[in-house]
Each structure stands twice: as C-alpha cells, then as structure tokens.
Amino acid sequence: MSAAQASSSARGTWVAVAAFVTWGLAPLYWHLLEQVPSLQIVLHRVVWSAVFVSGYLFWRDGRQWIRKTLSGQPKLWWMLGLSGLLISCNWGLYIWAVNAGHVVETALGYFINPLLNVVIGVLFLRERLRVGQWLSVAIAFVGVLWLTVQYGKFPWIALALAVSFGVYGVLRKLAHVDSVSGLGIESAYLFPLALIWLLWIELNGGGGFAHGFGATDSFLLILSGILTALPLVGFAYAVRRISLTTVGLLQYIAPTLQFLIGVFVFHEAFDKTRLIGFICIWLALLVFIVEGLLNGRRMREADLAELA
C-alpha cells in the first residue's frame, strides 16, 4: 500500500467512525420528536436532506449537477435509484418497528448488518482477512448468534434491516461517484414522492408542520435533514476508501452507543443473558482494533526498513 493509499484509508476510517458515532447518538435526537408520527419523520428526513444536499450541489456545480454526475455512466442512474429506495425502506421499517414494540429486534438487525458486510466483502468483492480479523469476525458471529437464539423466533425485521443496509453499502461502494453527488441523486429520486405525501397529509388534516407541532419540533424536523445527510455522505465517502470488512466491524459502534443510551438514558430492561452477546461483540471490536494497530505498525516498520 502506497503512502497516498494509506492516507486515504486512514481518512476513510475516521470518517466512518464519525458517521457511526452520529448514528449511535441519533436516538437522543429522535426522542425529542416522539410526539411526531414516525411516517412524517421519515418523509421530513427525505425532503429536508434533499433540500440541503441539492442546494449545496447547485452552489458547487451549478444547475447541471445532475447531468454532470450521471454523464458517461449509464448504470449509475439505476444504482443510485435502487440505493435510495433501499435506504428509505430501511428508515421506514426501523421507525415502524420501534413504534410497534420491536426494539430488541431492530437492535439485533444492526448487529447482524456488520457481519453481513464482512461476508459480502469476502464472498463477492474478494476481500481478504488476516488471521486477527478472522478471529474478530468469529467472536462477533458467536455474539450475534447468541442474541438471535435468545430472541426466540425468526427475526425477519432484523434480517430485513441488515440486508437493506448491507446491499445499500455495496451499491454505494460500487457506484463511481463522489459521496455528496451520489446522495444528491438518491434524494432527487425520493424527493417528489416524499413531498407529495407530506402535502397530502397536511391537506387532509393529519400533519402539523409549522402549526401543530410547535416551532421547536418544526425546527428539529428541518434540522433532521442535516442529521440525515451528513452521516450518509460520510458513510459513502468511507466505503469507497476502506474495505467492507473494516466498515462492517466499525459499524458495531452505532448499535453499541444505542444500547448504552437505551440502558443508561432511557432505562430500558437489560438482563445477563443479553450481556453475554454484547460482551462477545465488544471483545470482537477490541480484537479488531488491536490487530489493526499492530498491523499498521508492522507496515510502517517494513516501509522504514525498505528506505534504510
């Protein structure tokens, strides 16, 4: 790996960490909007993220930013259309499941997803794992399997969340487009439907934006566009620069933070049985981090030896 590649990989890793920390802390933000119907939260996320991202792209690239992004890449339009559909379905299913009392299963989905990224990376993208990385994956798999068995039934919601976000990550990795422009195209596909749906809700008396929800809630809904866009841009930036294996294991940051918030902030129930699964996952993360640091040191020492 050249110095430039190593630098790009390091930036990708830190951007991925920032994205997952943002997603991990997001429940604190969405809790402030608990009185707003979940469907409207999703629709506002789509609309306002599209407004912010497209506004930035118009400022950066002018009115022709869509044509410039898609020119010369005939497959890009459907790849980004599909990735936009997948991420919107992921959001919708997640918020519905939480409100329907399936919080444990949604958490399980986001613990399964990183393992799915690793499997996809190895089987389809020909990524290779070092011994320490295999050990980390194996420990994490044991933890997820334990949590799945303890759940007691087929976790279709968890698997749907994991698969939708896993395939989204693959599409964004394979789509040769910068992260902001890619999100802009995704948003352009979703924006008209989301806006029409919101207007229909408002006209039929089911909405409350700027009049029923209050000024604070309306402002938070607008700001949700930025909270939605920034980590997605960071995620898309990261998956183009680091392996899906690395992305998959770093992704445990988000559900771990969500778990800590659930237990210590929202005081949700947590027993010793679930603790076993979480300990396995945290141990896997520790092994992955230590192995990565040791491998990085070995590579630097090898580079210095070649220069000597």
Higher pLDDT: 36 or 118? It is 36
Q: How many CB atoms lie within 10 A of CB 107?
A: 23
The number of beta carbons lying within 10 Å of the beta carbon of residue 179 is 19
- Answer whether 0.75 is exceeded by the pTM: yes
Q: Looking at residue 272, what DSSP letter applies?
A: H
Work out the mean pLDDT of the chain and round it to a whole number. 84
Residue pair 157/97 in contact by the 8 Å Cβ criterion: yes
Whole-Å CA distances, 229 to 142, 183, 224, 267? 33, 8, 8, 29
Alpha-carbon distance of 11 to 7, in angstroms, equals 6
Burial (CB count <10 Å: 0-12, 13-18, 19+), residue 209: middle
For residue 254, the tally of other CB atoms under 10 A from its CB is 22
- How confident is residue 2, by pLDDT bands cut at 50, 70 and 90? low
pLDDT-derived band at 308, boundaries 50, 70, 90: low
Q: What are phi and psi of 243, to 5 degrees?
A: -70, 155
Residue 275: count of CB within 10 angstroms of its CB: 10
| Span 1-14, average pLDDT | 76
pLDDT of residue 19: 93
* Structure token pair of residue 39: 């469907």
Banded pLDDT at 122 (limits 50, 70, 90): confident
- CB neighbourhood size of 292 (10 A): 18
> Does 268 or 233 have the greater pLDDT score?
233
Supply the pLDDT for residue 277. Answer: 85
pLDDT at 303: 72
The mean pLDDT value for 282-307 works out to: 79
pLDDT at 207: 78
% residues pLDDT > 70 (the chain): 95
Kindly state the tokens that stand for 250: 């770093």
Q: How far apart are CA 255 and CA 248, in angstroms?
A: 12
Amino acid (1-letter code) at residue 41: I
* DSSP-assigned letter for residue 34: T
Judge contact between 94 and 222, C-beta under 8 A.
no
- Judged on CB neighbours under 10 Å (0-12, 13-18, 19+), 190 is buried
More confident residue, 302 or 177: 177
The answer to whether residue 45 scores a pLDDT higher than 80 is yes
How far from 54 is each of 10, 45, 73, 189, 236, CA to CA, in Å? 28, 14, 20, 12, 16
Q: How far apart are CA 162 and CA 90, in angstroms?
A: 9
Tell me how far the alpha carbon of residue 47 is from its chain's centroid: 18
pLDDT band at 210 (very low <50, low <70, confident <90, very high): low
Confidence of residue 297 (pLDDT cuts 50, 70, 90): confident
Distant-in-sequence, close-in-space partners of 55: CB < 8 Å, separation ≥ 6: none
Non-local CB neighbours of 202 within 8 Å, separated by 6+ positions: 209
Residue linked to tokens 């700001």: 223
Q: What are the structure tokens assigned to 4, written together?
A: 């430039």
Give the domain ranges of the chain: 3-307
